[in-house]
Structure 1
Amino acid sequence: MQNRQMKHVVRGAFILSLASLVTKILSAVYRVPFQNLVGNTGFYVYQQIYPLYGLGMTFALSGLPVFISKLIAQQKTAAERRTVLQYSCWLLIIMALVIFLILQFGKNWLARAMGDPQLAVLIGTVAWLFLLMPWLAISRGFFQGNFTMVPTALSQVVEQLIRVTVILAAAAWSLQTGWSVYKMGAWAMSGAIFGGIAASGVLLYYWHRWQKENAKLLPFNRMAFGKLTRRFLIEGGSLCLFTSLIILLQLLDSFTIKSNLVTAGLTEAAAKNWKGIYDRGQPLVQLGLVVATSLAATLLPSLSQALQKQQRHQFYRQAATMVRFSFAFSLAAAGGLIALMPGVNRLLFGSTQGDRTLMLYMLSIVLIALISGYNSVFQSLGEYRLPIWALTLGFLIKLGLNGWAVRRWQIFGASMVTVLALTVILSLIWWYSRPYVRQALFRHWFSLKLLFCVGSMMLVVTGLFFSIQHHWQLGRLAGGGVVLFCVAGGAVLFISLARWVRLFTTREWLSLPLGKQILRFFNVSREEK
């Protein structure tokens, strides 16, 4: 009976992880055809407001559902679970209404603060999404807390498919009808609302099958409600902040980059164009993080299991491995993108503008992956204060320096301050983490081996790409084919070098997807330690 339940939990976790991977890829990839359809200025309009949508999705898709599911799973009786669900619902409704009213009544002020009053219509559109947030977060959290992952997984995929379809349809239709970029942006943002409604329908279908007596209201308990509110603010807030780390930094960019570019002497049109070029970095960072965080996340179940069984040594060993995976694959992804940036930029976005800025911005992949890895350890141990203080300091650095850096170095300055803020956050979290986990990146010459593997890969890939480009002078599509060939070759080279220098142990390779096949290909003995 226990084995059957464990198989059910593992199967559910796999389904949810797969759905999450699909939605992340969709969320990153659609921006490429969208930017090609609407251009840099249209992309700027959409990306200025995207962080507001991103925060709503963090609440409804990942941060709060995970926290609520944890709360529900911790309760011992059905009555306690209903109490948590009921009080959580009240809290989220209050929060959603407050955010909705702030965005609706403050949209003109927020748009002016961003330096573009015409953005008000987009802010008003995205505000409606927050009214759907309580139901989406509560229902997903409930199903995940009861280890029923299919409703959450299906709703995530449906939501993203509908949203992406509406966004691309709005972009294509605007070209046919001559809409302004702001009208196009408002319709593109409405994709979040249509996707949220579709996801709500999916969740409502599964919710309807839940026993009706479980929906009865329970008497209000002030002490229990107050305790839950504190947990929401501290634990739930910490989880949401780190889940939306890059989105929050982009929100600060929305308020500081365009207006300071104008202050620096650029015209309105030029400032919007360069902000759109800067925003090309977001989908590239997302794609890099999909690879790095997905591979590191394969260890999360074993991490939780070790903690539940109070196997501290096993927990720290798995945590150290997760941090090494985060560092290795994020650095490989960032290194590959930096080496091939001129080709990637031209293939995806049609020009090589902003190459230097985007190269620097790719370092965010490494920093965010490591921050997420170390923070997962803090979260697992129930420690929240230090990560929040580190995050706050990073945001203050970004807020304080961004305007000055943009006026002095334009969008390169914004990229530089983002990397600086993330470095400060990571440094604090790393310094105060457990010794065994903190030393994971330096044990057995790990960092030096990794730098050798990534550096060698970058040299080979860069040399191959530029030599082919120099000899044949290829166009955008043919050059794109060369980029994809170099990406595949770089991945094979990195894995080959990693095996050659013994970057990971055999046990670590086996914990990766396709790890067994990689070891078999290299004919490695299982006896190796």
Structure 2
Amino acid sequence: MSKVMRGAWILSLGGLIAKILSAVYRVPFQNMVGDTGFYAYQQIYPLYGIGMTFALSGFPVYISKQVAQARDPLAQAAVAHRALVLMAWIGFAMFAVLELGADLIARAMADAGLAPIVRSVGLMFLTMPVLSAARGYFQGTFDMTKTAISQVVEQLLRVGVILLAAGVAVQHAWGPYKMAAWAMTGAFIGGLGATLVILPAYLKASRGFPHAATPLSEYGHLFDRFVKEGGSIALFSALLILLQLVDSFTVTRGLIARGMAPAAARALKGVYDRGQPLVQLGLVVATSLSTTLLPSLSRSVARGHWTAFKQTARQLIRFNLGLSLAAAAGLIALMPSVNRLLFGDTVLTGTLRVYTLCIVLVALINAYNAVLQSLNRFRYTSYGLLAGLVVKMIANPLLTVRYGAVGAAAATVLALAVIVVLLYIQLPRSLQGADPRGFNARLMLVVGPMSVVVHLVAVHMQPQNRVETLWVFVVAVPLGVLLFVVLGAIFRLYTVREVLAIPYGRKFMKWWQHRFRKE
């Protein structure tokens, strides 16, 4: 158990670093290439994001489960080998679809100039087989370090290539499409670097194990299980990316149908895409602490400790809701300043405020999904996700044509709300219904005053440029954090047990009790 927990922490840390890198690089990138350049890159990013999710979380998690269940090292190596062969077929098929169908995909996005960028991202799928199989094998044998290192190497190389391409594009006056095509090759180079890191270790680990020929019928059965079980895990990991993919096909087209010129519609889509890194950053803050509780859920279910399971599930939901709502409220209160500081202007501030609500909904979805998957209710979670995607696909064109970019943001919020409701209905009854401690009311008493004070401070300082806006953050962000902590303690937002579950929670409790008794 000690080895498993240590490995889980290493993998969580690697994933957290990768997420932060993936969110942060977009800010300097947008500043370097402008709204149209950002649009060209972000239009195709969801195709990369889906492949990345398959290679990083979806298929490796499923492969690791099969490896862990294998009876001996020989059987484990055989499982990984069959997965490698199957993933090679899948990866090559996806590569061929993107290479051969690039022109068709670009036209479906209402911009034929995107075709070279689609072809660039297709290269990444050639690295997916080895990464998926090797990561799954090592995770299944509880060696998480190699997966974590490959994740960080992949993101560092990708981000480096993206920023390098942006810098060269600015110096040599490249067009936005050429710049985006070169930037997207970072996905392939990052995947290649991660492959070079993890492949030698995988070959060494599997050396000496003979691989018997596997009949095609067995691969067909294996493919069916990959799609149903591994696909379910991957789809939830790629939830926001799938919604962004719908945006790629509908927002620009909807803005043009609304009467905008194509060039203006593309630039506005680039501004709309600013919401994605903001949501990613908010979710990193909102869910990083709650990851410590996930292993406890599975352990409680496996041992039949249902009281402990309910307590842990409630803690997970409360942490995700409380921290995500605080992050979203803070961003909404500071949004004009956030927009100006990060992106240089305050265009579409109202739209970005609406989009920021996604932080709360996705954090709740992650919590509910963790509870349901620990109970092996994969089918219901998949149905909820598919229902949300259908709502997004129907609402997006209608609301974008009627209301513009804010309509697309509202469609995303609506789709996520549908998923939240459908997952909530599937939770055990003990986790539904009444709120005995009045947690929701206490949360409003904490977040409400915090966001009002932060907003008033930002309005009072009236920043006019980026330097003045930076001072708003220096003052308002620490003030907001302090207010959340102090008001949370005053209103007893979290129980003693929940506070102790947070890193440094014990030290905070001792400090708070000392101050309270002293007064």
For Structure 1 versus Structure 2, the TM-score category normalised by the shorter chain is over 0.9
Which amino acid in structure 2 is aligned with residue 515 of structure 1?
G
Q: Distance in 2 between matches of 1:413 and 1:519?
A: 45
Partner of 2:303: 309
Q: Distance in 2 between matches of 1:211 and 1:184?
A: 41
Which amino acid in structure 2 is aligned with residue 369 of structure 1?
A
Partner of 2:440: 447
Aligned pairs for 1:303-452 within 5 A? 303-439=297-433, 442-452=435-445
Measured against aligned partners, the alpha-carbon deviations of 1:268-307 in whole angstroms (never above 9, x if no partner) come to 1110111001000000000011111211111012122212
Shift of 1:221: 5.6
Equivalent of residue 255 in structure 1, options 242, 249, 258: 249
Q: Distance in 2 between matches of 1:36 and 1:347?
A: 10
Shift of 1:316: 2.1
Q: Which stretch shifts more, 298-307 or 82-91?
A: 82-91
Which amino acid in structure 2 is aligned with residue 336 of structure 1?
G
Aligned pairs for 1:283-298 within 5 A? 283-298=277-292
Q: Distance in 2 between matches of 1:338 and 1:187?
A: 34
Partner of 1:116: 111
Equivalent of residue 482 in structure 1, options 467, 472, 493: 472
The change in CA–CA distance for 1:381 and 1:520 in structure 2 (over 3 A counts) is same
Q: Distance in 1 between matches of 2:202 and 2:249?
A: 40
Which amino acid in structure 1 is aligned with residue 444 of structure 2?
L
Shift of 1:524: 7.0
Aligned pairs for 1:160-175 within 5 A? 160-175=155-170
Aligned residue for 2:347, secondary structure, equals: coil
Partner of 1:521: 511
Aligned pairs for 1:195-274 within 5 A? 195-214=190-209, 216-220=210-214, 225=219, 227-274=221-268
The change in CA–CA distance for 1:371 and 1:451 in structure 2 (over 3 A counts) is same
Which amino acid in structure 2 is aligned with residue 496 of structure 1?
V
Q: Distance in 2 between matches of 1:464 and 1:63?
A: 43
Which amino acid in structure 2 is aligned with residue 64 of structure 1?
F
Aligned residue for 1:17, secondary structure, equals: helix
User: Does the 8 Å contact 1:234/1:384 carry over to 2?
Assistant: no
User: Does the 8 Å contact 1:344/1:480 carry over to 2?
Assistant: no
The change in CA–CA distance for 1:166 and 1:409 in structure 2 (over 3 A counts) is same
The change in CA–CA distance for 1:145 and 1:408 in structure 2 (over 3 A counts) is same
The change in CA–CA distance for 1:306 and 1:157 in structure 2 (over 3 A counts) is same
User: Does the 8 Å contact 2:368/2:424 carry over to 1?
Assistant: yes
Partner of 2:483: 493
Provide the identity percentage.
47
Q: Which stretch shifts more, 428-437 or 350-359?
A: 428-437
User: Does the 8 Å contact 1:320/1:436 carry over to 2?
Assistant: no
TM-score of the two chains, using structure 2 as the length reference: 0.96
Q: Distance in 2 between matches of 1:403 and 1:249?
A: 13
Q: Distance in 2 between matches of 1:112 and 1:80?
A: 47
Partner of 2:146: 151
Q: Distance in 1 between matches of 2:73 and 2:212?
A: 12
Q: Distance in 1 between matches of 2:392 and 2:243?
A: 7
Q: Which stretch shifts more, 280-289 or 217-226?
A: 217-226
Shift of 1:143: 0.7
Equivalent of residue 461 in structure 2, options 442, 445, 468: 468
User: Does the 8 Å contact 1:281/1:362 carry over to 2?
Assistant: yes
Q: How big is the alpha-carbon RMSD for the aligned residues of Structure 1 and Structure 2?
A: 1.6
Q: Distance in 2 between matches of 1:439 and 1:229?
A: 40
User: Aligned pair 1:94/2:97, yes or no?
Assistant: no
Measured against aligned partners, the alpha-carbon deviations of 1:365-418 in whole angstroms (never above 9, x if no partner) come to 110111111111111111111111111111111111211111111100000010
Q: Which stretch shifts more, 298-307 or 334-343?
A: 298-307
Q: Which stretch shifts more, 295-304 or 477-486?
A: 477-486
Partner of 1:3: none
Partner of 1:83: 78
Q: Which stretch shifts more, 442-451 or 268-277?
A: 442-451
Which amino acid in structure 2 is aligned with residue 171 of structure 1?
A
User: Does the 8 Å contact 2:384/2:419 carry over to 1?
Assistant: yes
Q: Distance in 2 between matches of 1:237 and 1:38?
A: 35
Q: Distance in 2 between matches of 1:109 and 1:227?
A: 32
Shift of 1:227: 4.8
Q: Which stretch shifts more, 445-454 or 243-252?
A: 445-454
Equivalent of residue 501 in structure 2, options 499, 508, 511: 511
Which amino acid in structure 1 is aligned with residue 88 of structure 2?
I
Q: Distance in 2 between matches of 1:64 and 1:217?
A: 21
Structure 1 regions of 5+ residues with no counterpart?
1-5
User: Does the 8 Å contact 1:292/1:329 carry over to 2?
Assistant: yes
Structure 2 regions of 5+ residues with no counterpart?
none
State the number of aligned residues: 515
Q: Distance in 1 between matches of 2:98 and 2:502?
A: 43
TM-score of the two chains, using structure 1 as the length reference: 0.94
Q: Distance in 1 between matches of 2:211 and 2:461?
A: 69
User: Does the 8 Å contact 1:159/1:195 carry over to 2?
Assistant: yes
Shift of 1:224: 5.5
Equivalent of residue 180 in structure 2, options 167, 180, 185: 185
Which amino acid in structure 2 is aligned with residue 165 of structure 1?
G
